[in-house]
């Protein structure tokens, strides 16, 4: 079975995670894909296949004879899709010999257009997989799952010489918990790669420092006719808080290594209001300055309106893995050489987000991220090419071969 054939099957399984759940996995449906890929792993000959109580999937391809002492490597992808756009009833559509132009996405009224996605003409002649415009596709990250499965089957069937290969599939990456409960002793790799990036040929080993901020506002509600110097409108205080943040530091206005404050949701009335942010920056010093900016705004408003008016809660998400990867830079160098071996010039860019690899790197498992061939993740315009998946799988195989030398 080819990687794209597995992918077409996987995306039709709903695995959306949930930010409101306090369990791992956050949604029981993630077990559906976990159990399916575990069974497929057993069928192709992967050893020590195991699904734990949190929907983490483990498997091992034992080292080839004579390579038992070679460095053990791992490959990881996540099972879940984002919680904030529909991931159920996905209807993937395969377009062969794509003409490079606009694609009407079902009856949704949405159009995948080169005007919005300028890379599309470069995919002309390929076979493209798209949505019907009403759901995500699930290439983030079921493409990675499919490619790792295809790599594993090829290694076993073709008898490709290899060191010990660990395989891991995780739940809840999209809500920031994907690597938190992964059993690294069971996984048993010295270095690993997450297959969770964009276009084929990408390598990422720098990511944002990241946290979430929940800001709660407590108002004082009295009759507006007698509210002079008495009423505190929680919603207006929330607006005042947001106005105290740098107006140009939003995802729309930043790129590359530039950080941002991203207001993800807001609700409120006179009595109560809440703002939720994600805060990102590659530079550790700038990241701490952003946290301090939030705290300073809360302090000033509490001084103005009374202590307890503003409550700031910051939740750490992940840190930039760059410094922790550098002492093991062969993990990056081997990926770069594996990409060059398929005739591509590697694309090395900072991740304007995070991956399971960031958490895993700080837990002692150096783990850069690799492209899977997909584009426009986290929405109805998500798409991927069959050829991009084939190239990404070949890159995984090249990495295997490099660690066997």
Measured CA to CA, the distance from residue 143 to residue 389 in angstroms comes to: 7
Tokens of 245: 């943040």
DSSP 148: H
Identify whether the C-beta of residue 101 lies closer than 8 Å to the C-beta of residue 394.
no
Q: Is the dihedral of CA 193, 377, 393, 41 positive or negative?
A: positive
Is 382 considered catalytic here?
no
Catalytic residue status for 173:
yes
Give me the residue label for tokens 């949704």: 108
Helices (H), ranges, 159-197: 184-187
Find the catalytic residue in 40, 80, 153, 206. Answer: 80
Counting Cα atoms < 13 Å in the Cβ hemisphere of 224 gives: 3
194: burial class by Cβ within 10 Å (0-12, 13-18, 19+)? Answer: buried
Rounded CA-CA distance 235/275 in Å is: 10
Burial class (CB in 10 A: 0-12, 13-18, 19+), 227: middle
Q: Which one is catalytic: 140, 172, 173, 200?
A: 173
Catalytic residues, which ones? 80, 173
């Amino acid at each position: 079975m080819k990687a794209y054939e597995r992918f077409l099957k996987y995306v039709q399984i709903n695995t959306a995670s949930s930010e409101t759940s306090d369990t791992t996995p956050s949604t029981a449906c993630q077990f559906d894909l976990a159990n399916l890929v575990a069974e497929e792993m057993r069928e192709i000959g992967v050893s020590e296949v195991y699904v734990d109580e949190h929907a983490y999937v483990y498997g091992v391809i034992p080292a080839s004879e004579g390579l038992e002492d070679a460095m053990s490597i791992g490959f990881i992808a996540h099972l879940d899709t984002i919680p904030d756009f529909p991931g159920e009833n996905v209807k993937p559509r395969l377009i062969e010999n794509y003409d490079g132009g606009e694609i009407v996405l079902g009856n949704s009224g949405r159009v995948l257009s080169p005007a919005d996605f300028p890379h599309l003409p470069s995919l002309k002649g390929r076979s493209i997989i798209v949505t019907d415009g009403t759901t995500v596709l699930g290439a983030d990250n079921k493409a990675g799952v499919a490619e790792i499965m295809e790599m594993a089957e090829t290694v076993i069937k073709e008898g490709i010489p290899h060191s010990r290969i660990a395989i891991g599939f995780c739940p809840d990456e999209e809500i920031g918990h994907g690597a938190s409960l992964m059993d690294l002793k069971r996984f048993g790799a010295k270095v690993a790669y997450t297959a969770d990036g964009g276009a084929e040929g990408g390598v990422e080993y720098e990511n944002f420092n990241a946290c979430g901020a929940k800001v709660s506002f407590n108002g004082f509600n009295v009759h507006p006719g007698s509210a002079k110097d008495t009423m505190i409108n929680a919603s207006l205080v929330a607006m005042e808080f947001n106005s105290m943040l740098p107006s140009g530091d939003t995802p729309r206005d930043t790129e590359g290594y530039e950080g941002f404050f991203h207001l993800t949701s807001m609700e409120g009335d006179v009595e109560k209001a809440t703002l939720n942010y994600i805060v990102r920056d590659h530079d550790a010093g700038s990241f701490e300055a952003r946290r301090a900016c939030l705290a300073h705004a809360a302090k000033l408003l509490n001084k103005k309106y009374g202590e307890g008016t503003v409550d700031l809660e910051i939740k750490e998400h992940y840190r930039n893995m760059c410094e922790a990867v550098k002492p093991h830079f062969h993990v990056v160098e081997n990926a770069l050489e594996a990409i060059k071996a398929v005739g591509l010039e590697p694309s090395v860019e900072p991740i304007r987000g995070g991956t399971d690899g960031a958490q895993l790197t700080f837990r002692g498992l150096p783990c850069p991220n690799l492209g899977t061939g997909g584009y426009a993740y986290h929405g109805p315009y998500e798409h991927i090419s069959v050829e991009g998946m084939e190239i990404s799988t070949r890159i995984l195989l090249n990495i295997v071969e490099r660690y066997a030398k």
